[in-house]
Amino acid sequence: MLQILCLVLCGLLTRTRAEPGALLRLGMDVMNLEVQRAMDESHILEKMAAEAGKKRPGVKPIKGITDMKVKDVQLPVITLSFTPGVGIFQCVSTGMTITGKSFIGKRMEINVATNITATNRILQDEETGLPTFKSEGCEVILVSVKTNLPSNMMPNVVNKFLNSTLHKVLPGLMCPAIDAVLVYVNKKWANLYAPMPIGQAGIVKYTLTSVPTTTSSYIQVDFSPVVQQQGGSTIQLAETGEAPRFPKDYVEGSSQLLLSDALLTAELALLQTSLDLNIHKMIGELPPQNTKTLASFIPEVAEAYPKPKPLVTQIRINKPPKVTMNSGESLLYLHGTLEMFAAQWGRAPAPLFLLEAHFNLQIQYSVREDRLQMTTSLNRLLSLSRVSSSIGAFNEKALTGFVTDLLREACIPAVNDVLQVGLPLPDFLDMNYNLAELDIVENALVMDLKLA
C-alpha cells in the first residue's frame, strides 16, 4: 500500500519538477557592468545633487549657520557582492561638500563621506513574472566628516548639525539613488518574455522556471522556454532524464548561458517541413542526375528506361529533427524519405522507388547578433532501406554512395539555408553575445559570456 502511494506521489513529484531548457549564470562581471551602465543612464549623480540642493521640510535651520548649500556631490563608487539566498549587497560610496556662513561671518565647509548600503533582493515580479531587484534595508553610514572650522570652535553647532541634519537628511537623499539605479537594471529584463520569431515557423519565449537563486559567486536564472508553432501549438521539450548542468571549470565571477539539446531540438522541430526538398537539376560535382547514372548502380532501371530520362528526387523529412551534444561534438539527426522519379515529357514524373533514409550532420555553432547560428556538414548516412519500388526488387545498399553524394551536395546546402534564420537567444540586460565563447558539453551548449 505504502509502495503504491509512493509510486503515485513520486511520479507526481518527478512530473511537476519542471526541467529547465536553458540556464543563465550571472557573475559579478555582468552585474558590475549593468549597475555602472544604470548609474550612467539614470544620471543619478545630477539627481542627487539636485535633491541635495532642495529645501527640505521638517529640517530645522541650523542655528549659527546661514546660506547653507550642498555642492560637489562626488561620483559614487559602487561595490557589489552576492548575498547567498538573497541577491546582491550594494554599497555606494560617495561624498559631498556642504557650505554655509558661520555666525561670525566666516565661510564654513563640511566635507562628508558616506557609504549607502542596501540589499537588492532578486525576486520574480508577481505581475510580469520577470526577474526583478528590490532594495531592502537602506542605511547611510558616515565614513568621515571634515570641516574647515577650528576644532575648538563651535563643536556643539557642528555636532548638532551632524546629528539632526545628516542622519535625518542623508537616507532620504541617498536611498532613492539606490532605487533609481535598480529601476534601470530592472527595465533591462523587460524584453525577456517577448516572443522571438524563428523565421516564419514559430517563436520561442524564455520564461522563468522559478525565482532566480543566488550563491556566493553568481545568480542563476532557470528558464523553461516555450517553443510555439505559428498558429499556437506548443512543442514540448523532451524530458532528458538528467537536468542540464554547467561544467565546473569556469572562472569565478564570469557569466554563462546554457542551452540544452532538448531546447534546440524543439526549436528545430519548427523547421521540419522547411527541410523538405525537390531536386531536379544538375548538382555541382555530381554525375548527371538521370536514369543512366542510376542504372550503373541498379541494372533494373536500365530495363525500365532504356533511354536516359532526367531524375527528380523528393526528400521529405518525416520525423522531427533531433540534436545531440556530447563533449565537443554536436549532431543533427534527420529521418526522411527519398523518392526518385523519372521525368517524362508532357506527363507527370513516373515514380521509380521510395527509400527511407536516416542520416546525421555535424553542427558547427556560432553567434551572430542575438542569434545562435548553425552550419552543418554531412556526418554519416546511417541507414537506407527500400519502402517501395515500381521497377522490382533491388539491393538499395548499392545506392549508398549515390545517395550520400546527393545528400552532401544537394540536401546539406538546403538545410544550411534553412538554418540561417538562427535561434534567438534570451534578451536581457542588453547582453551582447558577439564575444561569447561556445563549448559543447554533455547534452548542452554553453556560451561563456565575454563582455566587451
Cell numbers standing for residue 388: 517501395
Minimal distance, residue 77 CB to ligand NAG, in Å: 7
Residue with smaller CB distance to ligand NAG, 8 or 141: 141
Instruction: Find the binder of ligand NAG among 37, 47, 121, 160 (CB under 6 A).
Output: 160
Residue 45 binds ligand NAG (CB under 6 A) = no
CB 265 within 8 A of CB 319: no
AA identity, residue 385: S
Residue 416 binds ligand NAG (CB under 6 A) = no
Instruction: Find the binder of ligand NAG among 79, 215, 234, 434 (CB under 6 A).
Output: 79
Residue with smaller CB distance to ligand NAG, 103 or 239: 103
Residue with smaller CB distance to ligand NAG, 115 or 229: 115
Rounded to whole angstroms, the Cα distance separating 379 from 366 reads 19
Q: Kind and range of the H or E element at 9?
A: helix 2-16
Cell numbers standing for residue 307: 533511354
With left for phi above 0 and alpha for psi between -120 and 50, is residue 316 left, alpha or beta? beta
Instruction: Find the binder of ligand NAG among 14, 148, 163, 364 (CB under 6 A).
Output: 163
Residue with smaller CB distance to ligand NAG, 160 or 371: 160
Instruction: Find the binder of ligand NAG among 32, 83, 93, 373 (CB under 6 A).
Output: 93
Minimal distance, residue 322 CB to ligand NAG, in Å: 51
Residue 91 binds ligand NAG (CB under 6 A) = yes
Residue with cell 513574472: 129
Report the site for ligand NAG in 138-157 (rule: CB under 6 A).
Answer: 141, 143, 156
Strands 311-317 and 219-223: unpaired
Strands 107-124 and 87-102: antiparallel
Residue 159 binds ligand NAG (CB under 6 A) = yes
Burial call 249-286: b when 16+ CB within 10 Å, e when fewer? ebeeebbbbbbbbbbbbbbbbbbbebbebebeeebeee
Per DSSP, 62 falls in state P
Instruction: Find the binder of ligand NAG among 74, 115, 191, 362 (CB under 6 A).
Output: 115
Residue with smaller CB distance to ligand NAG, 92 or 237: 92
Which residues lie near ligand NAG (CB under 6 A)?
79, 91, 93, 115, 141, 143, 156, 159-160, 163
